[in-house]
Amino acid sequence: MTKNSHETATIAKKKRRRLRVTALVVATSTALAGPAAVSAVAAPALVPPTATDRTHNGPMQDVAEQVLGAGAPGYTARIDNGRRVAVTTAGVADRATGRPMTGRDQFEIGSNTKMFTSALALQLVDRGRLDLDAPVSKYLPGVVPNGENITVRMLLNHTSGLFSYTGDPDFFPNTEKNPQHVYTDQELLAIAFRHAADFAPGTSWSYSNTNYVLVGMILQKLTGKSMPELVEQRIVRPLGLTHTYYAAPRATHTGPGYAHGYQVRFAGPSPAYTDVSDWPLGGWAGAAGAIISTQADLSRFLSALLRGELFSRKQLEQMQTTVPIPASFGIPGSYGLGLIKIDSPCGTVWGHGGDTMSHHSTAVATADGRRTAISDTNAEPADTTRNDGVDRYVAVAFAAEYATICQMLDKPVPASVTQALHGGAPTTG
């Protein structure tokens, strides 16, 4: 659930640091630390991309082919430009059976979950139950070090300074050693609080999944309901999201239309894939990244979010009040309350992105919510050191996201993005 900065020399460090659940851009920080049981098998054969709208299939077919060529088993993108919906799919959703990827498959949305968690918090603000500028200690007394100086707003916009538990160097190695372990919120916080804060509250910005674990704890304490219940009752049902739910802790509500997710190690003669679809996503990602959804549902959610259907216009303004994202993070833009303003080469969009241990997804829209672009790639690099395979995958995935945004906005894909898509140097927009 995280990624970004294209300083590929920092792959392992940045990957661990951000939960692989972040914003829109594929980052160099994708590697899971530590060994995993893998079998070295050849990359899957290319399944020709398909689209519901052939007018969009040219550029997006190229995108899909390049993503698969970089080592992903499957890829899908759904682009609604306000007049028509184009769905591009390529590759396989299940390597074991060869079942093709479709635009209807459910997948792990990773840190796109943060938009849901933030929406739930803003609903409580509307109801007078939660104060964005109140200290965390008001709601979780004695839980957070220096909690009297950290506000709820700081948690939501990542200015708290709290260390991200996924940045602990032992977190992912331990998870791979015992992949079925279900962490409690308290266990995740204990990992985070073993580390000093990154900076004093409110003085800088750093992406931290610890922030959203704490927001989830506040929501549950104030409502007396679990996160799965809150997501179902206050977002899924009102919006009619028929294939969206919070994994508690595993992806159980799935059928044949479920995209398996794979860790990929590129070191070696050919990519080595590990299917981790049965690992408990909700058991480590929690309120920071545990939701399962589809492209259509995620598009509907993001449109509703930006149109103010889930809370008042006042709270939408709060959500879209942003703070600068440091250039080192790799995303040109700024961060609101669980929502990113991305200044892409083709224009400004709003949304987020998500990386789990085996999926990379993005969800973006225009400010009015009329145009949306949702994509998913069912693979994540698991290498702990830089190599040509990881570099290629990162460059292509990053460029694919910008190409998708340009298609949504009916803009030509810039040459720099096309170059990166075909193996050139990554572009930062």
Q: Phi and psi of 270, rounded to 5°? A: -150, 155
C-alpha to C-alpha distance for 364 and 372, rounded to whole angstroms: 6
Q: Say how many Å lie between the first and final Cα of the chain, rounded.
A: 21
Burial 176-212 (b: 16+ CB within 10 A, else e): beebeeebebeebbebbbeeebbeebbeebbbbbbbb
Say how many CA atoms lie within 13 Å of 57 toward its Cβ. 10
Q: In Å, how far from its chain's centre is CA 414?
A: 24
C-alpha to C-alpha distance for 311 and 306, rounded to whole angstroms: 10
Q: Identify the residue whose tokens are 């919120």.
A: 185
226 catalytic per annotation: no
Q: Phi and psi of 228, rounded to 5°? A: -60, -40
Contact 266, 383 (CB under 8 A): yes
C-alpha to C-alpha distance for 281 and 52, rounded to whole angstroms: 31
Candidates 29, 111, 206, 293; catalytic one: 111
Contact 5, 27 (CB under 8 A): yes
The percent of the chain in helix, strand and coil, each rounded to the nearest 5, is: 35, 20, 45
So which residues are the catalytic ones? 111
